[in-house]
Amino acid sequence: FVTNTIDDFRTIRGAAGGAHIVAVDFGMKTNILRSWVDAGCKVTVVPAKTSASEILKLAPNGVFLSNGPGDPAAVEYAIKTVRELLGKTPIFGICLGHQLLALAAGAPTYKLKFGHRGLNQPVKNLATGRVEITSQNHGFVVDMAKLPKHVKTTHIHLNDGSSEGLEIPEALAFSVQFHPEPAAGPHDTLRLFQRFATEVKASAA
């Protein structure tokens, strides 16, 4: 990657003319950045406590909420930021980012008795009916029984029926609980990066 340090921000330049994604780093893996570059995007990485106004000043085509550790309900500053971004820019989140999007939209989270760890985690895509093999590492999940009406469930875990994906159509926001970037399938879920890149370019046209 070619990176330019500007204050606390890092810009990773992908293909010329690609979508500009601002990635909020809550503990992001390097392969996520590779996946964005492979999708033809330019990525600006910002620290976890970057405010919504600072993010919007970067003029992103879309915002990515990364993975990270711990109880999502405790990350109050991030929930506030995501709530302020909803409806102002497209959003895509994974793992912790999925949980933060749900909390910002008004859905609670809870701790699993046994977390989801490792490869070969079966997830059903409710739109296609396909089962996707995923990689996961989390101990908290979104409470699907308490989703607001404007939030749709898109994926479920086939072992315990827990939340694995959601969408807020009017806000151009979606998220998944699993990690697409390890490509456990090996290519079942990598397409999510390209999907977001395509959607944000279309919404900006």
Phi, psi at residue 164, to the nearest 5°?
A: -130, 0
Catalytic residue among 116, 138, 155, 179: 179
Residue 95: active-site member: yes
Residue 41: active-site member: no
Q: Which of 14, 26, 28, 24 is nearest to 54 (CA)?
A: 24
Strand order in the sheet with 173-176: 3-6, 9-12, 42-47, 20-25, 62-65, 91-94, 173-176, 163-168, 152-157, 109-125, 131-142
Residue 181: active-site member: yes
Q: Which of 71, 77, 93, 109 is nearest to 171 (CA)?
A: 93
Catalytic residue among 132, 164, 167, 181: 181
Catalytic residue among 20, 41, 95, 132: 95
Residue 153 gets the label, from left (phi > 0), alpha (psi -120 to 50) or beta, of beta
Tokens of 50: 């970057």
Tokens of 39: 């999708």
Active site residues: 95, 179, 181
